[in-house]
């Protein structure tokens, strides 16, 4: 919401402030499905991957400025 301050959520929509994955759960998930970050983005935004792609991708940045995860839209070939 930081970059879309005028966005309106549905009346019943409450996005989580944080998502916690215990290390064992994360390890098991990543063994079966790959990186957990895509799922974290979906949980935090409430948007499907296609919508995230149309909005220009996503970057998750720690409080210290470290980029933890970044996914930019695929570049279309002409």
State the pLDDT at residue 49: 86
Q: Looking at the domain assignment, is residue 3 inside a domain?
A: no
What residues make up the domain containing 35? 23-71
DSSP 21-45: --HHHHHHHHHHHS-SHHHHHHHHH
pTM reported for the whole predicted model:
0.59
State the pLDDT at residue 9: 56
Confidence tier at 35 by pLDDT (50, 70, 90)? confident
| Farthest CA pair distance, the chain | 43
**Structural domain count, the chain:** 1
Q: Looking at the domain assignment, is residue 48 inside a domain?
A: yes
Q: Looking at the domain assignment, is residue 10 inside a domain?
A: no
Q: Looking at the domain assignment, is residue 14 inside a domain?
A: no
Q: Looking at the domain assignment, is residue 77 inside a domain?
A: no
For residue 16, pLDDT over 50 is answered with yes
Between 55 and 4, the more confident residue is 55
Confidence tier at 1 by pLDDT (50, 70, 90)? very low
Q: Looking at the domain assignment, is residue 52 inside a domain?
A: yes
């Amino acid at each position: 919401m930081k970059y879309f301050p005028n966005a309106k959520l549905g009346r019943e929509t409450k996005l989580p402030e944080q998502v916690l994955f215990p290390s064992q759960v994360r390890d098991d998930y990543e063994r079966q499905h790959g990186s957990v970050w895509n799922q974290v983005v979906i949980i935090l935004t409430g948007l499907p991957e296609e919508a995230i792609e149309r909005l220009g991708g996503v970057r998750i940045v720690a409080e210290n400025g470290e980029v933890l995860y970044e996914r930019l839209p695929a570049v279309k070939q002409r």
